[in-house]
A and B are shown apart, each in its own frame.
Chain A
């Protein structure tokens, strides 16, 4: 049981480049979300999804796109990387009926934009 798998673990991008961060879960969870984690800022919600074909914006969506074509996968796309997007990106999932029991997080992608 792998849980939530994020790839890559580390990435360095040049300003203006685009890339996709991958997130996959094998728990048949309806809810998936992307957070960025910056020192002193806590977790900030970027985008989330409550099922295949359904996505919505969180607190800080600008510069990011998501799609959810399957229950298992929820990729996050950076359209044109900027230094302000240097951060740790965390993917999380849960059952929408058992969110009170907490999310399962991936191990994160550490992104540096130069």
Chain B
């Protein structure tokens, strides 16, 4: 079992839809959880990060972490064509020497006008 599993998609939704992107993980030591957005032919850019369990909201984006289920989600409300990108989840522990992120493989999202 890989440490982080992410459905690669592709996922295609109409403009205005609510999008749900998910990752599961196996390492209970992970404490920080991140979502990256990567546009075509660009490097990944950090979208949101969350520490431990709970929700974090930033505009149309909400990140959720359920550590008991080892499951994280990114919700995009009122999706726009500009949200079309590949979304990667990433996570890391919090102990001394924790600087190596573990990434999911990414989900490719297309928002159709």
Contacts and interface: CB of A to CB of B under 8 A. Distances in A.
B42 A102 contact: no
Q: Is the interface of A mostly helix, strand, loop or mixed?
A: strand
B85 interface: no
Interface string A90-113: 100010100111111111101000
A100 to B, nearest CB: 3
B92 A100 contact: yes
B41 A110 contact: yes
Given A90-B43, A96-B99, A99-B100, 16 more contacts: A41-B105, A42-B103, A42-B104, A45-B100, A99-B98, A99-B101, A100-B32, A100-B49, A100-B51, A100-B92, A103-B90, A105-B44, A106-B43, A107-B43, A108-B41, A108-B43
A102 B46 contact: yes
Contacts of B88: 42-43
Q: Assign chain B's interface to a size class.
A: 20 to 34
Contacts of B101: 99, 102-103
A106 B36 CA distance: 13
